[in-house]
Amino acid sequence: MSYFLNKKVLVTGGTGFVGTNFVEELCKKKARVIVPIHSRPLRISNKNITKIKADLTKLEDCLTVCNDVDYIFHAAGMVSAAQMTVNNPMTAISTNLIVTLRVLEAAMKKNVKKILLFSSGTTGYPPYNHAVKEEEMFKDDPAEIYYGYGWSRRYTELLGKFASQKSNLKVAICRPTGVYGPFDDFNPNTSHVIPALIKRAIDKENPFIVWGSGEEIRDFLHVKDLVRGCMLLLEKYAVSDPVNIGSGDEVKIKEIVKIILQNSERKNVKLIFDNKKPTTIPVRKVDVSKAKKVIGFKKMISLQDGLSQTINWFKSSLQ
């Protein structure tokens, strides 16, 4: 029997990339899903979804959407893509903190049982070259390019711990790595590396210019694996103790580019790596042994399969 069967589950950010995938999976598990609607429409439909118009920067709206809720997956807020980190560093920080504070306060007032908060396994950690473990988060500052955003993700963890200490609210904290998959943001001005590369490949750009050297190392996880890991985390480990949710594998950006171009049926492409364009840290790897130990999580979707699925989804979305 599903842990979420007939439970009333609020998904903040349920119209966004990660949130939409949460809504979709929760519907499969027969949960009663609440989705706040603000500026974007919901992209899926199901009889188990209730939409409520709300602005989550306002406490009264947060109280409304938290009414009689059992669990919350707090996926609302802005993510910090490379261009946003460089050109407009304050937007994501201010929005995320305000919304998180309001949602936590409402959850405490409405006696919500559990909430999952997102920290960051990419921006929050110091710029170490090894696979970082959870206990290393506060050993040093985040990388300079992530400094403000990284500290805001760290503070989210502290807010969650504080809320759990001051109420009966149980808090799960996920530190995700780079996530990709269906419903991602393919806008070239705000997207992360994988959707940006996919869109440009489908658009048949030639020459194909990639920011950085291509030697940058990352850990990428398919969004379906992330959602599954977060559901396990909320169910089994809502103890205000952060857990890395990632693939545990390392891949170079140039290898990602190769897979995307192959799956997009692109041949005879002039590939250029441009070191003059802004990039982030050269290495980000995470240790996922804690996730395996405390919730039994490991990835199920390979990078090759995940990228192929994502490309096919994006193509179908254009029709």
Can you tell me which residue has the tokens 């439970």?
7
Q: State residue 82's pLDDT score.
A: 47
Question: What confidence tens digit (pLDDT) does each residue in 181-191 have?
Answer: 999 999 888 88
Degrees, nearest 5: CA angle 306-86-135: 65
Q: Give the pLDDT band (50/70/90) at residue 198.
A: very high
Domain positions in the chain = 8-183+221-246+286-300
Kindly state the tokens that stand for 187.
């806008």
Q: State residue 83's pLDDT score.
A: 45
Q: How many CB atoms lie within 10 A of CB 107?
A: 25
In a 3-state reduction of DSSP, which class is residue 255? Answer: helix
Alpha helices (runs of H) in the chain, residue ranges in sequence order: 17-28, 59-65, 82-87, 89-109, 147-165, 193-202, 223-236, 253-263, 289-295, 303-317
Residues 6+ apart with CB under 8 A from 45: none
Residues 6+ apart with CB under 8 A from 301: 222, 224, 225, 309
DSSP 318: T
Q: What is the mean pLDDT of the chain?
A: 94
Which element (helix H / strand E) includes 282? none
Q: How many CB atoms lie within 10 A of CB 44?
A: 14
Which element (helix H / strand E) includes 71? strand 71-74
CATH classification code of 8-183+221-246+286-300: 3.40.50.720
Distance of CA 241 to the CA centre of its chain: 18
Prediction pTM value:
0.95
Q: Please give the average per-residue pLDDT across 303-312, as a whole number.
A: 96
